[in-house]
Amino acid sequence: MAKVGFVGLGIMGAPMASNLQKGGHQLFLHDRNPVPDALVTAGGKVCRSGEEVARESEIVIVMVPDTPHVEAVLFSDDGVAKGLGANKIVVDMSSISPIATKEFARRINALGSQYLDAPVSGGEVGAKAASLTIMVGGPQAVFDKVKPLFELMGKNITLVGGNGDGQTTKVANQIIVALNIQAVSEALLFASKAGADPVKVRQALMGGFAASRILEVHGERMIKRTFDPGFRIELHQKDLNLALQGAKALGVSLPHTSSAQELMNACAANGMSQLDHSALCRAIELLSRHEIASS
């Protein structure tokens, strides 16, 4: 049994922490909001700060929304870094800037601790089912130590390379997901506007080369109009912004990533930033003055 700290217990973090508890590990918990009762009832200890979490734990996992949040969790006056020492491990499972990640790793290493960036894909469903895809950057030896914890939270676990490479992989993942959501949105809207039943169109496409998890899961959301968030538009906006910032720094063009970001911007401008990212279809529907579910 390991002593594991967990900072960030939101939509993703809470079920991930629960799966670690089910695996028999002792958890030390901190969040800006009240820690979920279920985690405390299962034996988790509530800590007042990231510093306290780090002092109590051997491995500290961070799961918060964005780069500034990770920086604050790690390096604020009562942050995780203040409680670190030799041979402790920090694992950031948030989705943040690869460039900032390399700097955070350097600063944590300077304190005698090790660092992994390990962003995830799979959303709330994957977090609850312990079926997340986990993309890891960092030293092999540190990855090997933490892998048993990863296996309690996910299924497809890959050490991609050094620090920052996990975050780079997550940005690539988010590009692919966004463009697939855009493609499914356009296809189902086209079919619906042409008079075909989008339910049957989706069913037919699921048996062909166009089949995908996005068509399966988010295509159904678009048809049924179920946009309660598994992964919010505002978070995907953040990830695509990381992609476009990286593209500028690397001198490459990502034209379709830009268009997907503009569609998400349009959703946010119309009050939909808190909806699931499958609601990107609403921007295309507004442009077309037609809803996918309409007859």
Q: Is 169-288 in CATH node 3.40.50.970?
A: no
**pLDDT at residue 146 tops 80:** yes
Per-residue pLDDT of 219-261, as tens digits, reads: 999 999 999 998 899 999 999 999 999 999 999 999 999 999 9
Mean pLDDT of the 173-193 span: 97
Same fold flag, 3-161 and 169-288: no
Q: Domain ranges for the chain, please list them.
A: 3-161, 169-288
| Separation of alpha carbons 159 and 89, rounded Å | 16
The residues carrying an active-site annotation are: 170
Q: Where are the beta strands (DSSP E) in the chain?
A: 3-7, 26-30, 45-46, 59-62, 89-92, 114-117, 120-121, 132-137, 154-161
What value does the mean pLDDT take over residues 107-118? 98
Query: Which pLDDT value is given to residue 293?
Result: 81
CATH of 3-161, one of 3.40.50.720, 2.40.50.100, 3.40.50.970, 3.40.50.1100: 3.40.50.720
For residue 294, what pLDDT band results from cuts at 50, 70 and 90? low
Output the pTM of the full model.
Answer: 0.91
């989705």: which residue's tokens?
Answer: 95
Q: Are 174 and 108 in contact (CB under 8 A)?
A: no
The rounded distance, in Å, linking the Cα atoms of 141 and 273 is 40
